Amino acid sequence: MALAGGVVGGMKLSRSLFALSLACGLGGAVSLVLMMLAAQIGFAGVRAPIAALGRPDIQHAIKLSLFCATIAAGLAMLVAIPSAYVLARYRFPGRILIDVLLDIPIIISPIAIGITLLLMFRSAPGSWVQEHLLRFVFEVPGIILAQFIIALALQIRVLKATFEEINPRLEQVARYLGCGPWAAMWRVTLPLARPGMVAALLLGWGRAIGDYGATVTIAGSVKGKTDTIPISIVLNWSAVRIEAAVALVMVLTSIALLVLLAVRLAAGGSRT
């Protein structure tokens, strides 16, 4: 009995160590993020940054970012929904290759995306587009294009997971109940995918608004023209206008938090 007690005691220690190491890992990760949030507020409080938000150049950056990210993420959804639906529902040769291709913009460096876009517009067809249709390089459409690509890949990934989770038999039953393919999608698949679509839109928008590498490469950091929030942060920081930079960092952090909370709410709301 004493021996058994010893064994149980040893087991208890091992179990405590197990719990402890799990807690350490999670605690470390959480405290790192909390330290980062604290550093933002600890540096200058919240008053100076909020005052800086009134400056016209910062207001311009915020407006430009909201405008570009909204258009980019919205347009990207129009492409992402059918793409993700096809990848989730149909099996065809080359499907895995396409899947990998569409993941490249998620994993690749935004700098590489930006340089690649510049190379595209240096080529003969690219120059023709620039001259006769729409200027992208160092212009606002360039920002939108870069953010479109960054949002698109992420949205396809999120929507594909969403569509894969919807029981395909629901659509099948809808078809036998008299729905054509459009009606089945409209009445069954899309309503069920709503939380995932909200998540895709918001996450794509959040990634687009936070992009620096791709935007700066194709659109440059032209003050008063292509200075989105991240670009304006760098411009202000290098000009040692620290309050302005911190103000914009706090704006980006708040946007990230709001987006993540909204995604949670959308997902949670669908479960009731």
Site for other proteins in 184-203 (CB under 8 A): 187-188, 191-192
Nearer to its own copies, 36 or 222 (CB): 36
Nearer to its own copies, 194 or 220 (CB): 220
167 binds other proteins (CB under 8 A): yes
Place of tokens 């950056």: 61
5: left (phi over 0), alpha (psi -120 to 50) or beta: alpha
Alpha helix locations (H) across the chain? 2-44, 47-52, 56-89, 95-107, 110-122, 124-132, 140-165, 168-176, 181-184, 190-210, 213-219, 229-238, 242-269
Residue 176 touching other proteins (CB under 8 A):
yes
Q: Which does 116 bind (CB under 5 to 8 A by kind): its own copies, other proteins, none?
A: its own copies
Could you say which of 174, 200, 202, 249 contacts other proteins (CB under 8 A)?
A: 174
Q: Which residue stretch of 97-105, 168-176, 237-245, 259-267 sits at the interface with other proteins (rule: CB under 8 A)?
A: 168-176
**Min dist. Cβ of residue 21 to its own copies (A):** 6
What's the burial of 55, exposed, middle or buried (CB within 10 Å: 0-12/13-18/19+)? middle
Work out how close the CB of 192 gets to other proteins at its nearest, in angstroms, rounded to a whole number.
6
Query: Is the separation of the CB atoms in 114 and 214 below 8 Å?
Result: yes
Residue 230: name its binding partner from its own copies, other proteins, none (Cβ under 5 to 8 Å by kind): its own copies
- Binding other proteins (rule: CB under 8 A), the pick from 6, 10, 45, 180 is 180
Q: Residues near 61 by Cβ (< 8 Å), separated by ≥ 6? A: 227, 228, 229, 231, 232, 248
Shortest Cβ distance from residue 23 to other proteins (Å)?
Answer: 18
- Cα–Cα distance for residue pair 135/141, rounded to 1 Å: 7
User: Which residues contribute to the site for other proteins (CB under 8 A)?
Assistant: 7-8, 11, 15, 167, 169-170, 172-180, 183, 187-188, 191-192, 272
